[in-house]
Amino acid sequence: MPATKHWTFEDFEPGQEFVLGAKHVTEEEVIAFATQFDPQPFHLDHAAAEKSIFGKLAASGWHTCSMMMRVVVDNLLSHSTSLGSPGVDEVRWIKPVYPGDTLTVSYYTKSVRASQSKPDRGVVVSIWKAVNQHGDLVATVEGMGMFGRRA
Amino acid sequence: MPATKHWTFEDFEPGQEFVLGAKHVTEEEVIAFATQFDPQPFHLDHAAAEKSIFGKLAASGWHTCSMMMRVVVDNLLSHSTSLGSPGVDEVRWIKPVYPGDTLTVSYYTKSVRASQSKPDRGVVVSIWKAVNQHGDLVATVEGMGMFGRRA
């Protein structure tokens, strides 16, 4: 359980996987995010969404990533030597995320690499998965995170 | 200039590149986004940020992506047959984004692929670039977008 200790680079081991936490998605949040960042009709308006490939009002993919990030921060990064990230790869929006859904976010450590040039840190490649209340995998993010090493 | 016509899948050609628009980044927005989605100290607090690798208060990378998305929606997707996206690849946060920055977002068409199974649509792979007021490339996103074809 990540939150029970302060994680440093050395604590990450390829193959480890844990559930971090969950996020309930509200219609108010979906519309607020879309209004600010992704004002496409299927993220804003019920009638337009019904005519779209989503079938009903669906969250922006960037909102889904941001909600996943919040779960990762609260349950892992805030209890770690996180130094930020140079980027992410393979963000996949696999199924729509709807208001009323509850997303459970898990963290899988794919690989670790100590920095050659900066001996005080290393990069962890992780795969985050979000599963909804029906057990459907709705989104994945393969991310790089920099973490400080133990002194 | 994308906004001057209604873009369909057929309008995208590999190699085309255009500036879409710009977004000024405010401290209020940086802190509001971080509070909701990425409450790491270097995105929230000036003193903590000064001691971090960012040097001063910096926007969450997910906020940067979301601001880029808004520019892409306003200047291209809202004037197109956009059907959403299955995901993005190679998001790179190359330099910090600070309050007060102005990000200019450009769009480069990398490849196009008509759907084999659904003849009414195709996928466009694009690379979005954000450059700040100093001319520094701060972020890139390689994204997939589905677009409807002309009838």
Q: Where are the domains of chain A?
A: 2-148
Structure tokens at A137: 């995998």
Query: Do B144 and B86 meet the contact criterion of CB atoms below 8 Å apart?
Result: yes
Rounded to whole angstroms, what are the CA distances from A130 to A63, A66, A136, B116? Answer: 13, 12, 8, 29
Give the CATH H-level superfamily of domain A2-148.
Hotdog Thioesterase (3.10.129.10)
The tokens describing A95, both together, are 């199924």
DSSP states of B94-146: -S---TT-EEEEEEEEEEEEE-SS-TTEEEEEEEEEEE-TTS-EEEEEEEEEE
What ipTM score was computed for the predicted complex, to two decimals?
A: 0.95
pLDDT higher than 90, residue A12: yes
Number of cross-chain residue pairs from A and B with Cβ atoms under 8 Å apart: 99
* B39 contacts A74? CB cut-off 8 A: yes
DSSP helix/strand/coil, B35: helix
- Residue B90 touches chain A, beta carbons under 8 Å: yes
* B82 interface with A at CB cutoff 8 Å: yes
Interface contact flag, A73 B36, Cβ < 8 Å: no
In angstroms, the CA A126 to CA A113 distance is 12
Q: Please report residues of B whose CB lies closer than 8 A to that of A74.
A: 39
Q: Give contacts of A43 with chain B, Cβ < 8 Å.
A: none
CA distance A116 to chain B (A): 17
- Tens of pLDDT, residues A68-107: 999 999 999 999 999 999 999 999 999 999 999 999 999 9
Kindly state the tokens that stand for B40: 């790491």
CB contact under 8 A, A38 and B66: yes
Q: Tokens in use for A29?
A: 């949040």
pLDDT of residue B151: 78
pLDDT at residue B89, rounded to an integer: 95
Both tokens assigned to B3: 């906004």
Q: Are A89 and B91 in contact (CB under 8 A)?
A: yes
Tokens 């998605």 correspond to A25
Contact B86 A66 (CB under 8 A): no
pLDDT per residue over B24-33, tens digit each?
999 999 999 9
Beta bridge partners of A18: A107
What value does the mean pLDDT of chain B take?
95
From CA A92, how far away is CA B88, in angstroms rounded?
7
> Which two three-digit tokens encode residue A15?
């193959």
Read off the pLDDT band of B83 (50, 70, 90).
very high
Whether residue B68 has pLDDT greater than 90: yes
Is pLDDT at A117 greater than 70 in this prediction? yes
Contact B85, B146 (CB under 8 A): yes
CB distance from B54 to chain A under 8 Å?
A: yes
Residue numbers in B near A64 (CB within 8 A): none
The Cα angle at residue B4 between residues B3 and B9, in degrees rounded to 5: 70
Task: Enter the DSSP assignment of B4.
Answer: G
Closest CA to A72 of A132, A126, A26: A126
- For residue range A24-59, list pLDDT tens digits in order: 999 999 999 999 999 999 999 999 999 998 999 999
Which DSSP category does B57 fall into? -
Is the pLDDT score of A1 beyond 60?
Answer: no
Please tell me the distance in Å from A117's CA to the nearest CA on chain B.
15
Strand partners, B93: B139
Confidence of residue A2 (pLDDT cuts 50, 70, 90): low
The reply to whether residue A91 touches residue B90, judged by beta carbons under 8 angstroms, is no
* CA–CA distance, B29 with A36 (Å, rounded to integer): 10
Share of chain A above pLDDT 90, in %: 95
Q: Is the pLDDT of residue B3 over 80?
A: no
CA distances from B110 to A24, A65, B75, B137, B144 (A): 36, 24, 18, 18, 10
Cβ(A22)–Cβ(A103) below 8 Å:
yes
The 10s digit of each residue's pLDDT in A122-148 is: 999 999 999 999 999 999 999 999 999
Task: Give the residues across from B131 on adjacent strands.
Answer: B104, B137
Q: Tell whether the model's pLDDT for residue A22 goes beyond 60.
A: yes
Contacts of A61 in chain B (CB under 8 A): 84-85, 87-88
Q: How far apart are CA A63 and CA B85, in angstroms?
A: 13
Q: Which residue of A has its CA nearest to B79?
A: A40
A65–B62 CB contact, under 8 Å: yes
Mutate to test the interface with A, among B23, B29, B37 (most CBs of A within 10 A): B37
| Residue in B closest to A78 by C-alpha | B40
> What's the pTM?
0.96
Give the whole-number percent of chain A exceeding pLDDT 70. 97
In chain A, the residue whose alpha carbon lies closest to the alpha carbon of B41 is A78
Query: What's at A97, amino acid-wise?
Result: V
